[in-house]
Chains A and B, each alone.
Chain A
Amino acid sequence: DQQVKQNSPSLSVQEGRISILNCDYTNSMFDYFLWYKKYPAEGPTFLISISSIKDKNEDGRFTVFLNKSAKHLSLHIVPSQPGDSAVYFCAASGSSNTGKLIFGQGTTLQVKP
């Protein structure tokens, strides 16, 4: 049973517009969420994170929103740039704080010039 789900395999947006990537989770014990970005032939790179005690975290063009009641988080990229084209993974960590991450399947974002 997959505990972290990214239901959109792909997303295409125009340069300068907003990109919204979504993620749902089932385990209410998750207390920390992260977004990773992955280019082809490279490992995932940390992008932004949010603790379960917050509902929003912002870092430059990237903002993550957390809705705990809906068990849903989203990543907003504004404005989107062609260099943002990559696979984005949502990940969650449980309260045991072991460092073990549970990943979603990833969403491929294409930003068109």
Chain B
Amino acid sequence: EAGVTQFPSHSVIEKGQTVTLRCDPISGHDNLYWYRRVMGKEIKFLLHFVKESKQDESGMPNNRFLAERTGGTYSTLKVQPAELEDSGVYFCASSPGSLYGYTFGSGTRLTVV
């Protein structure tokens, strides 16, 4: 079974540019989550999709962040325009149910310079 795939693994962009991160969950997993870890701190929740619907987006930092999940399959997280404080590792996770079977992807390391 393929795991959660994230692309790209690394991205370096200049402040003010736009970056789009992609996550392909495990097939059949209705629940998809985005998290972020900044500067070696805690991993923070960003949002939760159930199929194509946003179930909880309370962790999204501001309106520069836009997440979508087309057709309930893969998800994208767009940052526009990027700021220096957006640097960090963005993790995606998927699960078949709310709490169980959580599987994380390897993350996308975003560096804004």
Contacts and interface: CB of A to CB of B under 8 A. Distances in A.
In terms of DSSP, what is the predominant structure of the interface of chain A? loop
A99 B35 CA distance: 12
Contacts of A104: 42
Interface of A: 2, 4, 32, 34, 36, 41-46, 89, 91, 93, 97-106
Interface stretch (B13-21, B61-69, B73-81, B91-99): B91-99
A43 B4 contact: yes
Contacts of A36: 104
Contacts, number: 64
A97 B98 contact: yes
Contacts of B44: 103
Nearest to A90: B42
Contacts of B40: 105-106
Contacts of B98: 97-99
